[in-house]
Amino acid sequence: MRLYDLASVCRSKNAGPFQLTIDLMFRTRSDYDRAMAAGNFTAEKIASLYRVDPRSVAVKPFERILTIKVVIPRNAPSGAPEDADVYGSQQHFPLGNLEV
């Protein structure tokens, strides 16, 4: 199953000009637990999807609200000439396709 199919919300946005945040929200505790326990949902795997250093990936679980926030560095600063998504709103796709 893909994260898109498991999460009720999968979205990305800027977290300042140099970072992106990806929010994953789940309807049930079992869906949240499944994502958290997935061997494929790791900082290393996320780093490989976004071509960033694994040490720069932060996975922040918020168990009480069944949400996981992933923070990664942007490959180009927001608004830079080489930036293809100034708002960071289309960057959740690689993570959403991750099998869990």
How far apart, in whole angstroms, are the C-alpha atoms of residue 29 and residue 19? 28
Tokens 């000009």 locate to 17
In a domain, 99, yes or no: no
Tokens 């993570």 locate to 95
Beta strand ranges found along the chain (DSSP E): 9-14, 19-25, 58-62, 67-73
Domain count, the chain: 1
Full-model pTM:
0.90
Domain that holds residue 22: 3-77+85-93
In a domain, 98, yes or no: no
DSSP state of 74: -
Q: Name the average pLDDT for the chain.
A: 94
Q: Which 3 state secondary structure label does DSSP give 63?
A: helix
In a domain, 100, yes or no: no
Task: State pLDDT tens for residues 10-56.
Answer: 999 999 999 999 999 999 999 999 999 998 889 999 999 999 999 99
